[in-house]
Chains A and B, each alone.
Chain A
Amino acid sequence: MEYVFKTNGISKKYGKFTALSDVNMEIPKGAIYGFVGKNGAGKTTLIRVMTGLQRPTEGSYELMGKANNDKDIAKVRRRMGAVVESPAIYMDMSARDNLIQQCLMLGLPDFKCVDEILELVGLANTGKKKARNFSLGMRQRLGIGVALCGSPDFVVLDEPINGLDPQGIIEVRELILKLNRERGITFLISSHILDELAKVATNYGFIDKGHIVRQMTSKELADECRKSVRMKVSDVGILSKILEEKSLDYKVVDSNTADVYAELTFSDVAKDFEQAGCKIINMQERDESLEAFYLSLLGGSEDVQKSVC
């Protein structure tokens, strides 16, 4: 698999404080990578390292195939756009002037992309209105517009929907999906609003206390979060046999527990198990959202797994 960003045991320390510890993270090309973590977990630090604002204390990373200490890394960064923390815009300039400014900085031969980007981010009708008079949502969209100058292959968005109204959130979401679908742009989106993230992300990375706790695809997450019935039985072998006879989807968790992905009628199940000589100890319905999954993943675990993918 081709990765736009790949780290190799990155650590970042500020004095005695360790912000990132032995981070291994891979962002596949074409993915919308949802980057999830609590405040202070290390999300923004990793984004700063990734974008070259800060240097890792230990470890290395590759950005679109170039190592972080490669002399040509600056050229690769021109194929990258980012909105880190707040949108980087000049308040005394109009939306159009801001995009021209970015084109000049990137050394683009012309400004043909400006009108297209303005249209794309829904700021085509702002005319000479200065960015200082824009609403928060308009500034956010302009920040994304700036990040899109020069047709980047990889865009990093740190909390892109912070402070946006519901309409703004929908617009940004649609924009991300459209750019990913039509232009194949890879996105890294860090967000606290997990259910919103779940609507766009194709891959996830969970970070806690500077460690990548887990990386997974949206399919894997859907499987984890799928509505199921957790059954605790005396013999999981008999349970497997019964469920296979009934062609029901299930997953064995341990020697006497399994998750069954089907709607079960308790009386029917109890009868079948009794006939097969297997006791049902308990049955519990499970239905996890990304938020619930995140909490169950990070809740109080000390022996967190470092980078599983």
Chain B
Amino acid sequence: MFRNLYADTRNIILCRAFRIALGVIAVYQIFNFIIFKALYVFFLKTAMDADTVAFTFPSIAAFLVTAATLFISDREFSNGCIRNKMISGVKRTDAFLSAVFGGMLQGAIYSFFAFCISTIMSLAFTVGFMDYSIPEFANYWLVTTMACMAIGAFSTSMVMSFGGSKLSYVIGLLLAFVLKVTDTFVLDKLYPEKGYCQLTGTKLMVYRFIDRFIPYSYLMERPHYDFASYVIGCGGLVIISTVVGLIIFNNKELH
């Protein structure tokens, strides 16, 4: 499986879509930085703190990781390379696991790249953090990276299960959108700006479950649960999508 994983990693790195995704991350963060800098300089007339610009990536992470992993994994089907792997004697399980690891790797790389840009901008062009200590800053990025890896695994698993059907794009991006909207709603109910949380019973448990164990919601708010909850949430999504995807892919007929 490792030789296949190595080949897949090489493919990701040489892929144009991967470089475009990195470019989008850089442009988005720099663009955000320029806008905020202008606001601070011309309107607020104060020095800019790092909190404002350090965590802009998580707001696009779910969409970006989903879109990039869907596109790159889907190409394996559209250009016939997944077919070629099977013909060349690569076992289905190996091909699937390697693709899922590739998706996780992409999530990790995008997140790490965003972290590097964010750190450079925060250190070089701001007065420093107001609300975050260094461990909190590191913890936020670690949770973001884990969430991106889990989302990468999930969307890759979906492409492999749907066998390159454009349905995987629709479901993947729709799911990212729906979860984003749901999370906004859930967070608003759990942590209202005014007053206290009014939820009780099952509804409170469901909302807390979404907030605590669904990786998409980790990208909405700074970490506020224990680290184990995030590990369980991300690990759970990776395991469930891998196991379900593997069962589907192993019984699937390729064209």
Complex CA–CA separation, A75 to B90 (angstroms): 9
Kindly provide the distance from the CB of A20 to the nearest chain B CB, expressed in whole angstroms: 13
Q: Considering only CB atoms, which chain A residue lies closest to B81 in the complex?
A: A88
- Residue numbers of A with Cβ under 8 A of B are 48, 51-55, 74-78, 80-82, 84-93, 97, 101-102, 104-107, 146, 150, 156
Complex CA–CA separation, A89 to B6 (angstroms): 17
Q: Considering only CB atoms, which chain B residue lies closest to A44 in the complex?
A: B255
| Cβ contacts B42-64/A at 8 Å (1 or 0 each) | 00000000000000000000000
A-B pairs with lowest CB-CB distance, top 10: A88-B84, A77-B89, A88-B80, A104-B7, A78-B89, A53-B254, A74-B89, A51-B87, A54-B253, A82-B87
Q: List 8 A-B contacts (CB under 8 A).
A: A54-B253, A76-B89, A85-B80, A90-B79, A91-B75, A102-B84, A105-B3, A105-B85
A101 and B16 form a contact (CB under 8 A): no
A92 and B80 form a contact (CB under 8 A): no
Residues of A within 8 A of B15 (CB): 90, 92
Kindly provide the distance from the CB of B168 to the nearest chain A CB, expressed in whole angstroms: 19
* Given A53-B254, A55-B253, A88-B83, 4 additional A-B pairs, CB 8 A: A81-B88, A101-B7, A105-B85, A105-B88
Residues of A within 8 A of B17 (CB): 92
Kindly provide the distance from the CB of B157 to the nearest chain A CB, expressed in whole angstroms: 20
Kindly provide the distance from the CB of A92 to the nearest chain B CB, expressed in whole angstroms: 5
Residues of B within 8 A of A74 (CB): 89-91
A97 and B14 form a contact (CB under 8 A): yes
Given contacts A53-B255, A101-B11, contact A90 B87 (CB under 8 A): no
Residues of A within 8 A of B10 (CB): 101, 104
Residues of A within 8 A of B80 (CB): 84-89
B89 and A88 form a contact (CB under 8 A): no
Given contacts A78-B89, A86-B80, A104-B6, contact A53 B253 (CB under 8 A): yes
Kindly provide the distance from the CB of A185 to the nearest chain B CB, expressed in whole angstroms: 15
| Cβ contacts B1-25/A at 8 Å (1 or 0 each) | 0011011001100111100000000
B: interface residue count bin: 20 to 34
B253 and A105 form a contact (CB under 8 A): no
B88 and A77 form a contact (CB under 8 A): yes
Complex CA–CA separation, A89 to B255 (angstroms): 16
B86 within 8 A of A: yes
CB < 8 Å: which of B7, B79, B86, B88 contacts A89?
B79
Complex CA–CA separation, A278 to B161 (angstroms): 73
Residues of A within 8 A of B75 (CB): 90-91
B87 and A91 form a contact (CB under 8 A): no
A80 and B253 form a contact (CB under 8 A): no
Kindly provide the distance from the CB of A45 to the nearest chain B CB, expressed in whole angstroms: 10
| Cβ contacts B89-100/A at 8 Å (1 or 0 each) | 111000000000
Residues of B within 8 A of A86 (CB): 79-80
Residues of A within 8 A of B90 (CB): 74, 105
A52 and B3 form a contact (CB under 8 A): no
B87 and A53 form a contact (CB under 8 A): yes
Complex CA–CA separation, A93 to B12 (angstroms): 11
CB < 8 Å: which of A48, A55, A85, A102 contacts B88?
A102
Kindly provide the distance from the CB of B23 to the nearest chain A CB, expressed in whole angstroms: 15
Kindly provide the distance from the CB of A147 to the nearest chain B CB, expressed in whole angstroms: 8
Complex CA–CA separation, A29 to B104 (angstroms): 44
Complex CA–CA separation, A97 to B16 (angstroms): 14
Residues of B within 8 A of A88 (CB): 79-81, 83-84
- Chain A CB count within 10 A is highest, among B7, B14, B87, B254, for B87
Given contacts A48-B255, A77-B88, contact A93 B3 (CB under 8 A): no
Complex CA–CA separation, A81 to B81 (angstroms): 12
Kindly provide the distance from the CB of B140 to the nearest chain A CB, expressed in whole angstroms: 33
Complex CA–CA separation, A105 to B4 (angstroms): 5
A53 and B83 form a contact (CB under 8 A): yes
Complex CA–CA separation, A74 to B1 (angstroms): 13
Complex CA–CA separation, A54 to B87 (angstroms): 11
Given contacts A90-B79, A105-B4, contact A52 B14 (CB under 8 A): no
Residues of B within 8 A of A91 (CB): 75, 79
Q: Considering only CB atoms, which chain B residue lies closest to A85 in the complex?
A: B80
Residues of B within 8 A of A77 (CB): 86-89
Residues of B within 8 A of A81 (CB): 87-88
Complex CA–CA separation, A82 to B87 (angstroms): 7
Kindly provide the distance from the CB of B53 to the nearest chain A CB, expressed in whole angstroms: 32
B3 and A90 form a contact (CB under 8 A): no
CB < 8 Å: which of B3, B14, B83 contacts A107?
B3
Residues of A within 8 A of B16 (CB): 92
A54 and B254 form a contact (CB under 8 A): yes
Complex CA–CA separation, A75 to B81 (angstroms): 18
Q: Considering only CB atoms, which chain A residue lies closest to B82 in the complex?
A: A88
Kindly provide the distance from the CB of B161 to the nearest chain A CB, expressed in whole angstroms: 16
Residues of B within 8 A of A104 (CB): 3, 6-7, 10
Complex CA–CA separation, A91 to B88 (angstroms): 19
| Cβ contacts B237-255/A at 8 Å (1 or 0 each) | 0000000000000000111
Kindly provide the distance from the CB of B15 to the nearest chain A CB, expressed in whole angstroms: 5
Kindly provide the distance from the CB of A268 to the nearest chain B CB, expressed in whole angstroms: 59
